[in-house]
Homo-oligomer: A and B are copies of this chain.
């Protein structure tokens, strides 16, 4: 039902192309996964994701757990039927949000207890419970439950995090019953190579069908992040997909792909889109700026997305500035659509550069991208 094949490698970098086959269709890697936090990619419909070439969508277990709850999703046919996205899907384990969004009451050795950020109600999550929830949600790829910390983090605390993450990975794998879902393990360890090495080795022993690099993009620099991601990717089996969680800017993605990463997710294209910040081949632009008032050009001259084919920067600026309190809905929609399309274009370009065996030289143009 699942299969991952590395189809191309590259002499001047660790970048590779692959094909991940899932019960809901194939995914070419490197791949960027739009984030449907609460069961919807904000402002973007499934038909629009399909049109722009997105192939796999992420949903957050933490958010789906709070509302509408895994039982409701299951009764409404599972995540695919619920959200109307019938391609491959991935759910995270909830770990990241538990440690970043909620009020933690207690981190035990085998479970955490936290207060919902919505209504304060007490919720327990453990490797078993997180797996059971993800089994009910029914994504094609699910994640082991892990512990996350901000960086910098003292070594004694990181040792605890890595220890728990390893133990929880085994417990997650043991609880996972559905054969139509792949479970990935998550490597923690901050920017410390020793911790990353230890965590990777222990997880690889468990023989997960894929591995994620977690705990990055949490306060460290671009350089530290890329160094750690590439170091960790290199410790993981070459024949398994590698997923760098929650990353990042186009520059981050290109650099991490050069380090051997295959999969990404990030809210940046939609969040920036909602705030009127558009990614273009010449860098990011703020549409609220007065300079765009009479600009008849598209966001990006070379982009063929729906937004760029049909709307001027001047019009998009109007949508964001017509009302100080709230933009016209079409503004966030159209710029999110463009940004996600831009990310898909970047991924197509990285795959092309790897197949043409000149990834590193192609990637140099992204070094100064802002």
Residues of chain B lying within 8 A (CB to CB) of residue A329: 40, 42-43, 329, 332-333
Q: Told that A75-B314, A82-B318 touch, could you supply 15 new A-B pairs with CB distance under 8 A?
A: A39-B318, A39-B328, A40-B319, A40-B328, A42-B330, A43-B330, A45-B333, A68-B293, A72-B294, A72-B318, A76-B294, A76-B296, A77-B296, A82-B315, A83-B315
Determine if A318 and B67 form an interchain contact, defined as CB atoms under 8 angstroms apart: yes
Residues of chain B lying within 8 A (CB to CB) of residue A76: 294, 296, 312, 314-315
Query: Smallest CB-CB separation from A332: which chain B residue?
Result: B329
Residues of chain B lying within 8 A (CB to CB) of residue A72: 293-294, 314, 318
Residues of chain B lying within 8 A (CB to CB) of residue A63: 322
Determine if B296 and A328 form an interchain contact, defined as CB atoms under 8 angstroms apart: no
Identify which of B43, B75, B84, B312 contacts A310 (C-beta below 8 A). Answer: B84
Determine if A43 and B333 form an interchain contact, defined as CB atoms under 8 angstroms apart: yes
Instruction: Using C-beta atoms within 8 Å of the partner chain, give the interface range for chain A.
Output: 35 or more
**Contact residues, A72-120 vs B (CB, 8 A):** 72, 75-77, 81-84, 118
A222 part of interface (Cβ distance < 8 Å): no
A46 part of interface (Cβ distance < 8 Å): yes
A321 part of interface (Cβ distance < 8 Å): yes
- What are 7 A-B contacts with C-beta separation under 8 Å? A45-B334, A67-B322, A68-B321, A72-B294, A72-B318, A76-B296, A329-B329
Residues of chain B lying within 8 A (CB to CB) of residue A83: 315
Report Cα–Cα, A296/B76, bound state, in Å: 6
Identify which of B306, B321, B330 contacts A67 (C-beta below 8 A). Answer: B321
Known: A38-B322, A312-B82, A315-B82. A47 touches B306 (CB 8 A): yes
Residues of chain B lying within 8 A (CB to CB) of residue A42: 328-330
Query: Smallest CB-CB separation from A310: which chain B residue?
Result: B84
| Shortest 7 CB-CB contacts between residues of A and residues of B | A43-B329, A40-B330, A84-B310, A68-B318, A76-B314, A67-B322, A40-B328
Residues of chain B lying within 8 A (CB to CB) of residue A46: 310
Report Cα–Cα, A311/B312, bound state, in Å: 32
- Interchain nearest-CB distance for A75 vs B (Å): 5
Query: Smallest CB-CB separation from A51: which chain B residue?
Result: B47
Report Cα–Cα, A27/B77, bound state, in Å: 41
- Residue among A75, A81, A315 with most chain B CB within 10 A: A315
Report Cα–Cα, A82/B294, bound state, in Å: 11
Query: Smallest CB-CB separation from A317: which chain B residue?
Result: B68
Query: Smallest CB-CB separation from A68: which chain B residue?
Result: B318
Query: Smallest CB-CB separation from A119: which chain B residue?
Result: B324
Report Cα–Cα, A77/B84, bound state, in Å: 37
Residues of chain B lying within 8 A (CB to CB) of residue A38: 318, 322-323, 328
**Contact residues, A298-356 vs B (CB, 8 A):** 306, 310-312, 314-315, 318-319, 321-323, 328-330, 332-334
- Interchain nearest-CB distance for A355 vs B (Å): 33
Identify which of B294, B310, B315 contacts A39 (C-beta below 8 A). Answer: B315
Query: Smallest CB-CB separation from A331: which chain B residue?
Result: B40
Residues of chain B lying within 8 A (CB to CB) of residue A322: 38-39, 63, 67-68
The 0/1 profile, CB within 8 Å of B marked 1, for residues 259-303 of chain A is 000000000000000000000000000000000011010000000
Determine if A45 and B294 form an interchain contact, defined as CB atoms under 8 angstroms apart: no
Identify which of B81, B306, B323 contacts A45 (C-beta below 8 A). Answer: B306
